[in-house]
Each structure stands twice: as C-alpha cells, then as structure tokens.
Structure 1
Amino acid sequence: TAIRQLLVEAVHKRLMGERQFGFMLSGGLDSSLIAALATQQLIASGRSLPIAFSVGFSDSADLENAKIVANYLRIPHKVLVINPQQCIEIIPEVIYALETFDPLVVRCGIPHFILCRYISNNSNVKVLLSGEGADELFGSYNYMQRAPTALLLHQEVLRRLKLLHQYDVLRCDRCTSPHGLEIRVPFLDKKFVSFISRLQPSFKLISGKIEKFILRKTFKDLLPPKVLWRSKEGFSEALGKMDIGELLEKTAELLISDIKFDERKKLFPFQTPETKEEFWYRSLFEQKFEINKLERNLIHTKVYRSAAWQQNKNNNFEESNSLSESSGDEGKENKNLIGNLKNNKLNIPNEVKGHIRRRSTGSIKL
C-alpha cells in the first residue's frame, strides 16, 4: 500500500551515513514499527545491527514489551532502570535543556534526558530513530479518539501537527543534542505527513477499532501480535506502575506553600502558572535563564492542547498524555514514596529546594 511504501522510504532516507544507529524503543507500536523497518533495511544492506535502548522503572510493562520487540528483531537491547529519586534530582537540568516549563513536556523529558545521557556514555551510537509524530498524524491520543465527528478530529490533527515543534519535537531535539546525539523521526517525513493528512478523516476514527488501526493493519506482518495490537500509553505514564505525574505533583505540593502559590499572578503576570507543579518548574526556569520583564513576553512555552470540542466545557484541558490514577498496591507505593519525601529520606537537590525557599515565604523545609 501507499502507506507502507512511503514509510519504508522515510526510514530509508534516515539511514544515510555510516555511524552506528540506535532506537528509542518504548515497547509501543510507533517506536517498535520504526525499529522493525530500520532493522530490515540495515540487515539487507549488510550494515551493523542497530542497538535498542529503553528506560523505565523496575516494574514497567513497557520494558517487558520492548524486550519482546528486541528479541523478535534479534537486535542488541540495553535497558536503563531508573527510580523516582533520579527523576526529581534531574529536573533542573531537564528544564535548562528543554528551555520550557510546560509540565507535560518536562514530565516526558525527564526519562528521555536520562536515557540520552546513558546512551552517550555507554555506547558508540550517535544517531537515533524514534517514533514521534505518529500519534498526531493518526489522531490516536485518547481525547482525539473521543472526537464527536471525524471532521473535528481532522481539524485537531492539523492543529497538533502545527504545534509539534513546541512539545514532542522540542523534547526530542533538546534531550539528545546536549549529549552529542542526533535523532531522526521517519513519521514526520514530508511526503508521509502529506499523504496521511489527506486521508479520509473517517479512516482515523473507526468505531469499535483500536487507535491507528489502519497503520497496524498495514504492518501486521512486522511485529508480534502482543505489541502490534497493544493500546497506546504515554511515554512518561508507562515508566512503571508508579505514576510519575502524581510523584511530581506531590513533590510540588510540598515545595510550594499555599501562601506563595496565591501570589503567582504577582510573581508571574505573564503565562501565570496554573498548578504548583508548573509554579515549581517556572521558578527553576527563571532561575536558569535570568529573564527580565521584557524578555518574559517572548517566551514560547506552555502549550495549550485543548481541542475545539473541549474548550466550551472548561478551561482545564483534557491532556493527550494524561496520567492514570493509582490504586491498590500502586497507590500504596506512591504514598510510601511521598512519606519518604516528607521525612527527607529522598535527596532533593539543594538547587531545587534552595530556589523555592528564596522565593517562597512559608514553604515546607526539606
């Protein structure tokens, strides 16, 4: 089919050069499909096998799926297991690299940044292939699949594509480049984007079918069924049973007092933080970049992603990468972690704590 031919060509164009190639393999459909296509072509041309890299908490379901894909493709696979404390400690560096305080971009940037550092320090890989862009192109985010009509979904797809440089593409570029890596994204090939954008919107919103059904069906011979027909999970969400979003929200709740948060409009009159997590990131952002009042008006960040059909409901947009609520043992694990945080058993960097103290009267002392 045309979809298959165009994506194969898109991958081929991004395999130019003699450097060692690698994959950011999350275990989801998009990264797995790119890995499968690229591996086929590299083997056919007699070049070195690519190396797959994955990151997650020790209980991550995605790590297991990534292993399945790597074994299926018979390629080397390096897994980096991280913990919540590492995620908290690296936030100042991530914000500095990303140059944004958008909560969702920062959340997803944390594991991405950690993995890129690992790849740079532990391999000879210099060029990475990734699956970014497919969710926007095929309208596969959960909220998109709840669009009232196929036409509204199509309009949202076009809107999200226009904003890609402000979140996922920005994250990819700025997490890799500080570590001397280059990332290439076949799904955002111009010809492929043009063709998929012209498809009938109804092909992307099929009642009773899994998201990206047309893409899965086109490449059903390339991946094991468990991966091929697995529903989408957000990059940060799938780190493990522990909800990284809840961890960061709770940490921000402890770092930012209610008194200080009530002053947010005075402190940040432009793009005022809406949550304590965002207040935390914004404080670190301005500490890093020493932005004055004039320059503050030129910041391009905080991407609002509410679709047209959602804007009339409320101002709190329904996020495409929204994180699931924890329950049962997972919830207990999160509570234990937050308890350790309150008791100062987690090592929160002085850079994170100190700046909040300087700006915040009445903040919790950690």
Structure 2
Amino acid sequence: MFAFALWDRRKKVLLITRDRLGIKPLYYYHRRGRFAFASEIKALLTLDEVERSVDLQSMYEYLGFEFVPDPKTMFRDICKLEPGHYLKVTDGSVETAPFWDLAVEPFKGSRSEAEEELVSLLEDSVRKRLMSDVPLGVFLSGGLDSSAIVALMARHMNQPLRTFTIAYKDPTYSELPHAEKVARIFGTKPNVLVIEGISPEEIENTIWHLDEPMTDLSTIPFYLICKKAREQVIVCLSGEGGDENLVGYDRFKASKIDRFYSILPGVLRTEVIRAIVDRLPDRPQKKGAVNLLKRFVEGSCLPAHGGHMRWQYFMTGDHDRSLFLPAARAMISGDPFAPIARVADGKAFRSTLDREVYVDLRFTMPGSVLMKVDKMSMAHSLEVRVPFLDHRFVEFCASLDPSWKLSGLTTKAIFRTAFKGILPEDILWREKQGYSFPSKNWLRDELHDYLTDRLNSSPLIREHFNLDYVNLLIRQHVSRSHNHNHVLWGLLNLAVWHHGISHASFGVSTQSIRSSM
C-alpha cells in the first residue's frame, strides 16, 4: 500500500501515485494555474482558493452507492487519484494514466492445485505483513476471512495473538460466539467491544474523520474497534478484500438468481410481485427471509445494466423521482450506473461474474471499503494491513474459474474447500453476516429525534431535498411499513458532514505548486 510524490528538481516534473488497489487515498486540486495534493481533503481546504462547494452529481451518486465514486469527491474542486494510476505535473499540463490493471491469464492447473496455491499465496501475504517492530494484532469478526487470517498468523507468531472483536446484544447482528470459538482454537488473547448503542457524538466524530460522507454501515463500529485496538497495538491485520476476490457478497447470488427471475414478464415482476412484497413489514433482524426477499425484488426492478450493483444501490425509482427538489434534480444528469460503465465497459471478461468481481475491486472497494479502513484506523494512528489485497493474491484469484468461486449459490466455494482442516467446519460453511450495526432499529428508536432534527435543520438538506418526502420516509421507516435505513442513514451522514465542514476552521498548512497553466 502506498501513496507518494516524487519531485524531479532538474526536469521540474512532479509525479504522484496511488497503490494498485486504492488502499491509501490521495486527493488533488487543480484550478486556475494552481495544483495541490494531500492524503486528506481537510489539508486541501486550508487553501483559500479551494471552495467548499458541494458537487450535486457527486451527492446523487453518493446516495445511490453510499460513497462518491472515483475520481470525484463531494467537493466540486477536489478529485481523487484513482487506484493504480499516476499523475504527472509538468509546466503547463496535468495528466493521469494507469500503471496497473487487473488483466490475467486463466489458471491452467487442477482444482486441488488451485486450492493449494490459494492457501500458499495467502499465507505468504500474511507472513510478509507480520514484519513489525511494534505490537501487532488482528481484527476477528468470526467470519471466514478474518478467521483464515488468524489461522495463518498463528502459524508464524511466537506469542499469543491479540484479537479484537465487535459484539452486539442483538444476536442477529453479533458474531461473537463464532469469534470466541476461533480465538479458543488458535489460543489468542481476545479483546471484545460490546456496542449497545451509538451516540450522536460518535456519529459526528466518525463522519469528521471520513473527510466526505461514506455510509458503509460498518464504519462507526470499525472506528470504535480501531480505537480499542490502538490501546494495545500499533498495527492490525484485517480481512478486507476476501469478499471481492472470492465472491462473498449476497449481491453475487442475487445477480445469478435474477438471470432466472428476469425470465418472468416485466409487468408481473415490477407491478404484481413487487406490490405484494412491498406490503410485507420490515423485520428488525439483520437479514431473514422477508428482508432478503424485499431487497431482492427492489434491486431486480432497477435497470438491468446495473448488474450485481443493483443490490448495492439505494436510489430506487421512487427516491429518484421524489427526493430532490426540481431545481436540484435538473442539475443532476445521466444514468445512475454510468460510473460503473466508466470502469468496466470496453474491457473483455470471460463471464458475467468476472465482470462483477472487477467492478467490486476497481469501483466499490476503493471508494467504500478501503476508504473506511484507512480513515477510521488513521483517526487513531493505527496501521491496518490487508493480506487479501496483496496484488499477487488478487491476480491469482482473478485467474480462477468463476464456477470455483460461486458454485451454485455457494459463495467463496474454493476458499471454503481450501481451508478444510485449517478452520472448523461450522466456520467454513456459515453464511456471511457482515460487520454492520443495527442502524435501522436505532433510527426508529433512540436516534429518531436526532435524525429528524438533523435533517429538518440542515441547510444542505433544505436547499436541495424535498423535506415533505424526507419526513414521509422517516414516518414509514418508524412504522416498519418500509425499511428506508440506507437512504435515511445516507441523508443523516450528509447533513452531519456538511455541518462539520461548513463550520470548521482548518489550520493545517499545505504547499502547492504553481504552473503556467
């Protein structure tokens, strides 16, 4: 992982670059003959000429995807350098270009050879990331990815491994029993953080450190567990990247099911079935059959070219039509899935699944997952290392037969069989649960007043959004007739972020390079 700059004093050329997969962020400003770059947006905001104007198109895309897709940010004048790219500044010009992309030859060995190579590559990646002269630990959720990291770390540690785990009182959200089992098997020193609720102050602190709103529902829990981990260690390993490389998300399954579901007549799917499913009340648990059914039907009604990201997109047709005020909506252009097309269109893929994995690695992961990891860990001066994102491992996984990764509806199929004998069977074959917290329930109860007050008093929300519709969403959510968790949480994060940025005074100094542009 890296983000760095090189200045050639003799040629007067500046080169800045970001690692292959976007583990570290890098931002830049280029306007009116002025160029500046930084690892945080806040540093760029110290420049008088950098305006804090919100980009409406970015705001629209954020509410759909829950992050602002590269290379844009929420600020009109600030861009992100894309993963695997470099930017060169010479007298009179600024140009960006890729130095790496995910393009590999298909694996030619047998399934058993692939399983052996998978474990070997991941273990080598873990071993390399254990090099440290400071205390080191690992995040353990009890899921497959983090458990595999713990198992491989234990092979190379000469002292008990410190593990850090989040737990919730609601058993449909908590993975603690599974994490405790893994900790016992590998003799770790477990540290558990039980989250019973989230305070407004914790919400505001977390969003402040993000620089721009990003509403991955595991962001606040990750912020809190990083804080706890930093009390004991300076470096932590984490399992991010496993679900992208090895096909672990429900959206991959939904996309496969939809190939059969979409055979049904469109009127039946979008009017009859959806009307029936919409009447089912939301359940308080995290997943469950009803909640999954409602999410599947909702995603299947979105434009087909959105692919598997239809089940990770939250600006449904009703929201798209009613959420924004007319003046704001008129300034928002284009297809909601255009950012995905920009990343993946024109590239050759063996299969639909290969394209979906590519989109996850090049689009969703750097903008959401890795942004969360970097910002939340750096808020506490904690270094997080991600073995699943060693580029050798990423390229190897991309070379595998797609059916080895998603077999029927079994996600991470080859990963599960490769770790037989290393991890217990119940860990190997359990469904993905995820790191998120019960925000949908808390927005109905202890955070309801905070949500309502923040949205109705926010200048940004009042200027661009239909408050009558926003308050209707709140009422429907509280009544459990609908689950509007994602759009309401997104709006709350947007309002809190805008308030913080609007009232902040930045005192950090920064340098910029003048050119003759």
Same fold, TM-score > 0.5, yes or no: yes
Aligned length: 274
Q: Indicate which of 74, 78, 85 corresponds to 2:191.
A: 78
- Partner residue of 2:488 out of 261, 266, 276: 276
Alignment map for 1:190-339 (pairs within 5 Å)? 190-207=391-408, 210-237=410-437, 243-248=438-443, 251=447, 255-256=451-452, 264=461, 266-267=463-464, 275-290=487-502
Deviations 1:187-235 (A, max 9, x none): 0000000010111212222115x31111011011111222121110121
Q: Which of 124, 143, 167 does residue 9 from structure 1 map onto? A: 124
The structure-2 alpha-carbon separation of the partners of 1:268 and 1:279, relative to structure 1 and needing over 3 Å to count, comes to: same
Which residue pairs with 1:347 in the alignment?
A: none
- 2:372 is aligned to 171
For 1:66 and 1:278, how far apart are their aligned partners in 2? 30
How has the CA–CA distance of structure 1 residues 130 and 19 changed in structure 2, closer, same or farther, with 3 Å as cutoff? same
Do the aligned residues in 1 keep the contact of 2:443 with 2:451 (CA within 8 Å)?
no
Cα deviation, 1:230-259, whole Å, max 9, x if unaligned, reads: 11012115xxxxx33332366357633797
**CA offset digits 1:61-114 (Å, max 9, x no partner):** 41111110000001110111121144x4400011011223232x2x21111111
Instruction: Report the more deviating stretch, 50-59 or 21-30.
Output: 50-59
Query: Which residue pairs with 1:352 in the alignment?
Result: none
Structure 1's unaligned 5+ residue stretches are: 238-242, 293-366
Correspondences of 1:108-123 after superposition (within 5 Å): 108-121=218-231, 123=232
Alignment TM-score, normalising by the size of structure 2:
0.49
In the alignment, the residues of structure 1 paired with residue 460 and residue 371 of structure 2 have an alpha-carbon distance, to the nearest angstrom, of 30
Q: In the alignment, what sits opposite 2:167?
A: 56
Deviations 1:256-289 (A, max 9, x none): 37977998483379xxx99333222111111222
Q: Distance in 1 between matches of 2:127 and 2:169?
A: 34
Deviation string for 1:289-347 (max 9, x for gaps)? 2299xxxxxxxxxxxxxxxxxxxxxxxxxxxxxxxxxxxxxxxxxxxxxxxxxxxxxxx
- The alpha carbon displacement at 1:166 in A equals 1.1
**Secondary structure of residue in 2 paired with 1:280:** helix
1:93 to 205, 210, 222: 205
- Could you tell me which amino acid in structure 2 is paired with residue 279 of structure 1? L
- What is the rounded CA distance, in whole Å, between the counterparts of 1:245 and 1:213 in structure 2? 31
The alpha-carbon deviation at position 59 of structure 1 amounts to: 4.4
Match of 2:255 among 143, 147, 153: 147
User: CA, structure 1 residues 254+67, in 2 after alignment: closer, same or farther (shift >3 Å)?
Assistant: same
CA gap 1:174/1:261 in 2 versus in 1, 3 angstroms: closer
CA RMSD, aligned part only? 2.7
Alpha-carbon distance in 1 for matches of 2:440, 2:351: 32
Q: 2:381 aligns with which of 167, 170, 180?
A: 180
Distance across 1 between alignment mates of 2:451 and 2:229: 32
Q: Which amino acid aligns with 2:203?
A: I
CA distance in 2, matches of 1:136, 1:40: 25
2:245 aligned residue: 137
Name 1:297's counterpart in structure 2.
none
Retained in 2: the 8 A contact 1:51–1:76? yes
Of 184-193 and 218-227, deviating more is 218-227
Return the alpha-carbon distance in structure 1 between the equivalents of residues 235 and 169 of structure 2. 26
Deviation string 1:35-62 (CA, Å, 9 cap, x unpaired) is 11011111xxxx3322001112234441
The residue aligned with 1:69 is 182
Q: Contact 2:456 / 2:462 at 8 angstroms: preserved in 1?
A: no
Match of 1:349 in 2: none
- Looking at structure 1, the residues matched to 487 and 198 of structure 2 have their Cα atoms a distance apart, in angstroms, of 21
What is the TM-score with the length of structure 1 in the denominator? 0.68
Does 260-269 or 215-224 show the bigger shift? 260-269
- Compare the two structures and name the one with the higher strand fraction: 2
> Which protein shows a greater Rg?
2
Give the unaligned 5+ runs of structure 2.
1-115, 260-349, 471-485, 505-517
Instruction: Quote the Cα distance in structure 2 between the aligned partners of 1:233 and 1:259.
Output: 33
Opposite residue 155 of structure 1, the aligned amino acid is: R
